[in-house]
Amino acid sequence: MKTNIKILMSLLTILNLSCENLSDPGEIEIKNSVFINLIINGRQKFYIYNTVDFETTTRDDFLLYSFDKYFVDGAVISLSDSTSTYNDFIIEKDSLNTRYYTLTGNNNFKTDTKYTLSINSNGQNINGSTITPGDFNLISPVDNQIVHPTGNKFSIGIKWSKSNNAKGYLVNVSYPFYYEPLNYHDKYTAEEIIFDDTSYTYSHFLIPTDSVSITVMAFDENYYNHVFEGKNSSGIKGAYGYFGSSVLQTRKVWVE
């Protein structure tokens, strides 16, 4: 999946240095880039990277595995609310061997709750906080609903209730398909950002061949400020990136 994640260069440091010696950028002051979306009803994947120097060339395709070589594998993470502290983080890999930090066991994070974050990475302390969005219901479709394509097009209406404190919603529709003219099988994924509504109609000429996975993610202001407004740091101090939170609701429907 593509993402707006970017590792910031030390050019940001250079611009804040004295102009007396422009040939020497000096040491990178902020050594970490942190991308954390605390997901209610989802698996936690916390990404912590080294901030690279100005001379390092990075790929610009914005795929997570492109940045894995900058991953920090010795970070100490602590996450807390008013009653509990979570610090049993381990490193795991996804199917593309991209590393991330996750929690062991079942952790029931709560909606409408403030969480504080503390990280020690590369000898620097990083702190942040987020208030998780309110809970909401995915009204339609219902789970395991059977949907019939209309003509040569697949369409489905998605509707959900409002989430308190949510800045917006990310709708994801994913399914396998078969394209007969080319005898081609693949998986298609579409995403839509919704800010001022709680409904969306998905429609496409690619017809699902099996089940369709639908997710609606209500995200907080910290996520919005970094991903959509491009703020260098949102919800955190001592690092680039963001510490945000979201609530995820999922449905599966079947196409006949």
- Asked whether residue 148 is domain-assigned, the answer is no
- Asked whether residue 124 is domain-assigned, the answer is yes
Q: What is the CATH number of the domain that holds 99?
A: 2.60.40
- Asked whether residue 20 is domain-assigned, the answer is yes
Number of domains in the chain: 1
Tell me: the pLDDT tens digits for 68-106? 999 999 999 999 999 999 999 999 999 989 999 999 877
| pLDDT computed for residue 182 by the predictor | 85
Domain, as residue range, for 49: 11-132
- Asked whether residue 69 is domain-assigned, the answer is yes
- Asked whether residue 48 is domain-assigned, the answer is yes
| pLDDT computed for residue 27 by the predictor | 60
**DSSP alpha helices (H): ranges in the chain?**
11-14, 221-227
Cβ partners under 8 Å of residue 198, min gap 6: 159, 160, 161, 162, 169
| pLDDT computed for residue 24 by the predictor | 42
- Asked whether residue 32 is domain-assigned, the answer is yes
- Asked whether residue 59 is domain-assigned, the answer is yes
| pLDDT computed for residue 57 by the predictor | 53
Tell me: the pLDDT tens digits for 224-249? 999 999 999 999 999 999 999 999 99
| pLDDT computed for residue 106 by the predictor | 74
Residue ranges in the chain modelled with pLDDT below 70? 1-27, 53-62
- Asked whether residue 160 is domain-assigned, the answer is no
